[in-house]
Structure 1
Amino acid sequence: MKKIVTGALCALAAICCAVSVSLAQQPAAKSQRVTIAQDEPAFGLIVKLKGNTAAAANADTVRSFSAKAGVALAKGRAMTDRVAVYSFQTMQTRAEATAAAVRLAADPAVEYAVPDRLMTLAQAAPNDPQWDAQWHYHAPAQVPGGSNLAAAWATTRGSRAITVAVIDSGIRSAHPDLAARIVPGYDFVSAFNELLAYGVPASWFANDGDGRDNDPTDPGDWLTSAERSALPSAFVSAFNPSVMSSSWHGTHVAGTIAAVADNGVGVAGMADIQILPVRTMGRLGRGMQSDILAGILWAAGVPVSGAPPNPNPAHIINLSLGGSGPCDAAYIDVMDQLRARNKIVIAATGNEGGPVSSPANCNGVIAVTAHAYNGDNAYYANTGLLTVVSAPGGGCGFFSFSGGACSSRSDRVLSTVNSSNTAPGAEGYGLSQGTSMAAPHVSGAVALMLSLSPSLQPAIVRSLLETTARPHPPGTTCASPLNAGICGAGLLDAGAAVAAVHSRLPTVSISMPAIERPGRTIQMIGNVQLKTAAGLKQVVWRQVGGPPVNLVHESPGSTLATFTTPPTGTVSFEARAIDDSGFTGVGTASMRVIFTAGHRAADSADTERRPNAERPGAGHGPGW
């Protein structure tokens, strides 16, 4: 975490409280994860009948199922007493097979139909060569302080529709493990003419030769001993600058959240999402609170004077920075605006071994403390009743530190950095520790949660993080009754948090005919089953494929929608149900439109509205 000073330049040491150590890039591991593309061929359909499969191989059954699926099927073979497998006579893509399965599943004799496709051996570990060194992601059975990331990946790897803003020192956007994740950000580090009176340039802290602009690149935040000696005495007296190497702090934080996994390079991040880099911290890891507040607002999509509109507003704001004192009026105002926009704010508690710092102590912020490899609270980590959860921050646990058995350097958090100690050099990887490193683990976990359900309310996210956290390990600092409540609900468990979201998603299906003729007015019914006590907030309908049609909702958020079938083609629709807590379920359905000789064109008053059990196409005359 980086510190800030209210109303003046933050006089803070970086809240990654150890120097980053660059690690040379290693060759890719030999094991590879196999990915099935959406256009991977499917071999047929697996069909479960409501009766037995005695007639499954019957020629009439095959012809009937072929017509209803809209593709030519070969003779079926029984898999169980009610499940049969039908091969495609002509290979179909996975998307085509899925559409055929949806059409066939509408038959009243069919319980379900799914594509018969290639699967792969489950391989939990990605092929990034330094994955084994990233203990902070591992399962608790392997590492007591691990965040259980692979269990979350079994459900989702993330969604590029989710954006996390990293309010920090900037970004090394050309880093091979980050380049594919970055969306255009902004540099809010100001140039201050007041510095001229101290004999240094107005952009001394900005360290990039100018003030605010659209380039959030991290130029480095170093100060060498020789450079310090050359500074005017008035500046040294006023700001007490410390000699330090460049931290590449924002790049390290971003890598924990979203470094590209399974690319055979370097390290893995937690989620396949987008990173919005917002530079607010300059030289020496210092930043003005006004710049930080402006950066937070801009990241959330709130207009900021002098800055262009943000085309990629973030869902999650990561703040690995802070300063001492209470949450002041300016922070309160900004956090109120973010809550009104349903933004989730995650902040580091600080590294002074004291109370929770600001803005982590602001109302509604998810305050994150840090723990070590063994799950013990880190010796440096701030704690208090405002702490929500603990996440891997690395370094020494409190008991091992006080007992003189401090952890090794390898027990720190490994992520993306630049290899240079001063101005940028080659991109690389490095180890750091601090609550700054803990906060992005929570941001990554929340990004995975939102990838399943992007409308989740901040209060629900906080509650799920708390209820799914693992207990502090026995014998550690926070497990003591004397420290009850000050370290948060427990240790972050990304797998349990994602599973909790998944189990609460509404189930959605769409009732409509599978095959129709042109010119028919069709009414679709969205069938929604909620999984929580919350009520249904809305159903959002949209067309997701086929010739465009005019989709009409019965009323805003209605479970009903109508459209008129086009002259030909396959049309597909999505119904997205959102409950009052923000849990979101999605259902899809497709209809094949075919004009057959001898069929009259239907007028717009000819409306179809059928329950699930009715046979598609019933009553349409010969051939249907």
Structure 2
Amino acid sequence: MSSRSKKSFPLLALAAATLLSLQAMPAAAFQRGVTPGAAAVQAVTDRLIVKYRSAAGADAPGASAQARAKVIAQQRGARLGHLRRLADGAHVFQLDRAMTLAELRRMGEELRNGDADVEYVEPDLIAQPQYTPNDTSYAQQWALFEATAGLNLPTAWDKSTGAGVVVAVIDTGVRPHADLKANLLPGYDFITSTSVSNDGTGRDADASDAGDWTTAGQCYIGSAATNSSWHGTHVAGTVAAVTGNALGVAGVAFGAKVVPVRVLGRCGGYNSDIADGMVWAAGGSVYGVPANPNPARVLNLSLGGSGLCSTTYQNAVNAARARGAVVVVAAGNANVDAANTAPANCAGVVTVAAVGRTGAKASYSNYGAVVDLAAPGGDSGAGILSTLNAGTSTPGADSYAYYMGTSMATPHVAGVAALMLSRNPTLTPDDVETRLKGAVRPFPGACNGCGTGLLDANAAVDAAGTGTVATSPTPTPTTTTSPAPTTSTTTTKKGK
């Protein structure tokens, strides 16, 4: 994978686009003043549309047809009357009470049964504005809503926001960004080496990012000096930035919570630390470390290195999956076959390639048979905007920045997995992977070796189905022969 390059950009304080596109959806599924996704989803409406072949173009259907419709309504304790004719010749009937979709569909079946004059019957559903965040830079988050390569999240948010789901961001740690901290849970720092941790200590309960800046030659002979990436903060913001707070950006699963697991620091992180972090994040036991009080159902790993999937990595993946956690991993950023990129090539993980704003494969993205699907990661100057920190070495002020990479595509998929699990907590990791891979649309541009397609969040939430609420079960390194840890997968490319 490629070495990292990064740059912070000031918040573009532009008002979010209105984007009040309408969809045919149940009236009860969206209510102002109610958290999106929290309202009851049993649809109701008080109108029925009927198309009669013989009454096409007539002001009203015949008396016998109206009488039959009235009798069918009366059998359900309702009164029905003809309201008006549509432009296409169909007719709208008004009921004196609202009915569920199931009731209306049964009425439609009875109207069609034995009457060849009925062409079709359908409920007259109520359209509502899709949930549109008021976050000031939402309009710049093309990956969430644009028709070409966006995730179709506004429609999905009316059904699920990720509430009740915990996502572990296994990365550089996080900063307590004002647009993120309300959705952060206590995490853990799994870095054992103080030279890597850069915070003066080894493993401890402080998962805050101390900065991963380096000096020239520090990681390996000839390595360049780098500024701190604050990569984990960017990834966490993509997953679950606080949304609807009239500040900054929106998160994919803003109803979910993030457990930060710090495994990457100066020059990257050891596989052994990453593996322990994965097991702990999912609720497993790690020697000498207190149990995670908030086991995650989704693990996001925007990291990796070259080589085959090690036994250590595979054991950690297996342990996490056994506890019900979905493991989502970046494919890598070297524009090569991901078959030689770990842990993207481990069994049982959801491996994510990146597309740019056109929907074509991002120039840097790895590809190949191990890739499951693709999501927006940015390319050609159109990056992914998320939370960051302005410090070049040690922490500074809150900021926002555009980053590009499979590191950015991965949290989009992890966030959508959280939306699915919130809607149906009974899904297994295999269920989630299968339904994610099926909830895609064709690539708008060339993306060979990018898996089954481009993720569609709304289709994924629909594919999750529904289930009873259950308790949650228990930018890319360049590998070198240097004894120092591999360079982190943190930020992969810069945007502008």
Q: Taking structure 2 as the reference length, what is the TM-score of the superposition?
A: 0.72
Q: For residue 276 of structure 1, what is the amino acid of its counterpart?
A: V
Residue in structure 1 matching 2:211, options 212, 220, 224:
220
Cα distance change of structure 1 residues 392 and 29 upon mapping to structure 2, 3 Å threshold: closer
> Are positions 1:206 and 2:197 aligned together?
yes
3-state DSSP class of the match of 1:152? helix
3-state DSSP class of the match of 1:23? coil
Partner of 1:415: 386
Partner of 2:169: 166
Partner of 1:276: 259
Partner of 2:112: none
CA displacement, residues 71-124 of structure 1 (integer Å, 9 cap, x when unaligned): xxxxxxxx9555289xxxxxxxxxxxxxxxxxxx9xxxxxxxxxxxxx995244
Cα distance change of structure 1 residues 348 and 131 upon mapping to structure 2, 3 Å threshold: same
> Are positions 1:498 and 2:461 aligned together?
yes
Cα distance change of structure 1 residues 83 and 381 upon mapping to structure 2, 3 Å threshold: same
Equivalents in 2 of 1:209, 1:359: separation in Å?
Answer: 28
Partner of 1:448: 419
Number of residue equivalences = 389
Cα distance change of structure 1 residues 464 and 51 upon mapping to structure 2, 3 Å threshold: closer
Partner of 1:261: 243
Equivalents in 2 of 1:289, 1:433: separation in Å?
Answer: 24
Residue in structure 1 matching 2:275, options 293, 309, 319:
293
Cα distance change of structure 1 residues 84 and 256 upon mapping to structure 2, 3 Å threshold: closer
Equivalents in 1 of 2:319, 2:462: separation in Å?
Answer: 30
Contact kept? 1:52, 1:82, Cα under 8 Å: no
Equivalents in 2 of 1:127, 1:453: separation in Å?
Answer: 27
Equivalents in 2 of 1:30, 1:164: separation in Å?
Answer: 28
Partner of 1:83: 97
3-state DSSP class of the match of 1:277? strand
Partner of 1:246: 228
Contact kept? 1:147, 1:492, Cα under 8 Å: yes
Give the deviation of 1:204 after TM superposition. 2.3
**Equivalence map 1:565-584=2 (5 Å):** 576=468
Partner of 2:33: 35
Partner of 2:143: 136
Cα distance change of structure 1 residues 238 and 255 upon mapping to structure 2, 3 Å threshold: closer
Equivalents in 2 of 1:212, 1:84: separation in Å?
Answer: 59
3-state DSSP class of the match of 1:171? coil
Partner of 1:147: 151
3-state DSSP class of the match of 2:299? strand
CA displacement, residues 147-172 of structure 1 (integer Å, 9 cap, x when unaligned): 1111211212221x200000000001
Contact kept? 2:190, 2:263, Cα under 8 Å: yes
Cα distance change of structure 1 residues 237 and 377 upon mapping to structure 2, 3 Å threshold: closer
Give the deviation of 1:348 after TM superposition. 0.2
Give the deviation of 1:467 after TM superposition. 1.5
Give the deviation of 1:222 after TM superposition. 1.4
Contact kept? 2:353, 2:371, Cα under 8 Å: yes
Contact kept? 2:155, 2:458, Cα under 8 Å: yes
Cα distance change of structure 1 residues 121 and 464 upon mapping to structure 2, 3 Å threshold: closer
> Are positions 1:21 and 2:8 aligned together?
yes
> Are positions 1:428 and 2:419 aligned together?
no
3-state DSSP class of the match of 2:314? helix
Give the deviation of 1:306 after TM superposition. 1.4
Equivalents in 2 of 1:30, 1:138: separation in Å?
Answer: 11
Contact kept? 2:8, 2:399, Cα under 8 Å: no
Contact kept? 1:370, 1:393, Cα under 8 Å: yes
Contact kept? 1:27, 1:265, Cα under 8 Å: no
Equivalents in 1 of 2:281, 2:219: separation in Å?
Answer: 35
Question: Whose Rg is larger?
Answer: 1
Cα distance change of structure 1 residues 328 and 49 upon mapping to structure 2, 3 Å threshold: farther
Q: For residue 445 of structure 1, what is the amino acid of its counterpart?
A: V
Q: For residue 178 of structure 2, what is the amino acid of its counterpart?
A: P
Cα distance change of structure 1 residues 213 and 84 upon mapping to structure 2, 3 Å threshold: closer
Contact kept? 2:352, 2:375, Cα under 8 Å: yes
CA displacement, residues 277-319 of structure 1 (integer Å, 9 cap, x when unaligned): 00000014x1011111111111011111111111001000000
Q: For residue 34 of structure 2, what is the amino acid of its counterpart?
A: I
Contact kept? 2:213, 2:226, Cα under 8 Å: yes
Q: CA RMSD in A?
A: 3.1
Contact kept? 1:26, 1:265, Cα under 8 Å: no
> Are positions 1:183 and 2:185 aligned together?
yes
Runs of 4+ in 1 over 3 A off after TM superposition: 27-34, 36-40, 45-54, 79-82, 235-241
Contact kept? 1:369, 1:387, Cα under 8 Å: yes
Equivalents in 2 of 1:237, 1:273: separation in Å?
Answer: 36
Structure 2 unmatched runs, 5+: 21-30, 47-72, 80-92, 104-125, 474-496
CA displacement, residues 371-417 of structure 1 (integer Å, 9 cap, x when unaligned): 1100110111111101000111101xxxxxxxxxxx23xx0110000
Contact kept? 1:22, 1:418, Cα under 8 Å: no
Q: For residue 391 of structure 1, what is the amino acid of its counterpart?
A: A
Q: For residue 171 of structure 1, what is the amino acid of its counterpart?
A: V
Contact kept? 2:138, 2:249, Cα under 8 Å: yes
Equivalents in 2 of 1:37, 1:377: separation in Å?
Answer: 35
Equivalents in 2 of 1:450, 1:259: separation in Å?
Answer: 18
